[in-house]
């Protein structure tokens, strides 16, 4: 399933799932336009990816519409095309009861988690259509869209919107060769999850596999970034032409587990 000759935009590519996704696509031959957040520059990550394949780093603030619009534009300047988009970047925001939340916080979270994927996809799809080529879009959603935790209302709402947006993309563009899907992730052991768990006063113990003990999953552990990357890898490949507009749940069975959520 070589991706040689393909150009992929991956947002949130500096850490966790995004880094694993960018690495996997690089390894399989894609030229990766790795988008990170301004202030989180990580030349070591880019150097690593560059040893595996072609990679260009671009840092911006996806909370700013003008900068989000630059992502696809800069990718086109660098590579002249976009074939794959993986919208992985996200922010949780402050965990507060709804009555203590402000409109500014909602706007910020929706901009990063929902509006920036729209802006990136809008420009990428225009390029795909102009060249008459098949394209692939994968949006990283969350099981919180359907089973939100307390104090995560704007995050859960943004991920629910991202799922609906993914389905709209599929309805409008699948017939023209642009296939869109979403991955509904549960708890994945990444830097972001580490921070969320610490802020939620969760048990910090980690077993030898790198998965936290006590996670409310049927397989008894959190997911790993490489597992999500492998799923993305299939969805963006030419071997996938029939999984369209799907929301694939990758949560270790947590959504059907009867165990109490540990945090």
CA distance 253 to 107: 32
Q: Could you tell me which of 252, 253, 250 has the C-alpha nearest to residue 21? A: 250
Q: Could you tell me which of 117, 97, 114, 10 has the C-alpha nearest to residue 57? A: 10
59 in active site = no
Q: Give Cβ neighbours of residue 68 (< 8 Å, ≥ 6 apart).
A: 60, 62, 111, 115, 116, 119, 120
Task: Exactly one of 59, 79, 152, 155 is catalytic; name it.
Answer: 155
CB 141 within 8 A of CB 182: yes
Task: Give every strand in the sheet of 31-37, ordered side by side.
Answer: 55-60, 31-37, 7-11, 84-87, 135-142, 178-185, 247-250
- Give the catalytic positions in this structure: 155
């Amino acid at each position: 399933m070589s991706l040689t000759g393909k150009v992929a935009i991956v947002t949130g590519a500096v850490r966790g799932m995004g880094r694993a996704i960018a690495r996997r696509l690089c390894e399989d031959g894609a030229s990766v336009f790795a988008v990170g957040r301004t202030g989180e520059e990580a030349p070591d990550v880019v150097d690593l990816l560059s040893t595996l394949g072609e990679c260009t780093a671009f840092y911006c603030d996806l909370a700013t519409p003008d900068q989000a619009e630059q992502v696809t534009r800069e990718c086109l300047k660098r590579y002249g095309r976009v074939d794959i988009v993986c919208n992985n970047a996200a922010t949780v925001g402050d965990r507060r009861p709804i009555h203590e939340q402000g409109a500014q916080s909602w706007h910020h979270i929706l901009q990063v988690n929902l509006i920036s994927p729209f802006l990136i996809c809008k420009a990428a799809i225009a390029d795909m259509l102009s060249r008459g080529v098949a394209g692939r879009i994968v949006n990283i959603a969350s099981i919180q869209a359907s089973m939100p935790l307390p104090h995560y209302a704007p995050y859960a709402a943004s991920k629910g919107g991202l799922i609906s947006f993914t389905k709209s993309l599929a309805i409008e563009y699948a017939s023209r060769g642009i296939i869109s899907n979403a991955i509904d992730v549960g708890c994945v052991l990444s830097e972001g999850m580490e921070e969320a768990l610490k802020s939620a006063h969760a048990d910090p113990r980690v077993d030898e596999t790198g998965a936290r003990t006590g996670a409310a999953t049927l397989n008894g552990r959190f997911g790993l970034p490489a597992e999500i990357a492998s799923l993305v890898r299939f969805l963006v490949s030419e071997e996938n032409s029939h999984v369209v507009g799907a929301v694939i749940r990758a949560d270790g069975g947590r959504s059907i587990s009867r165990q109490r959520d540990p945090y």
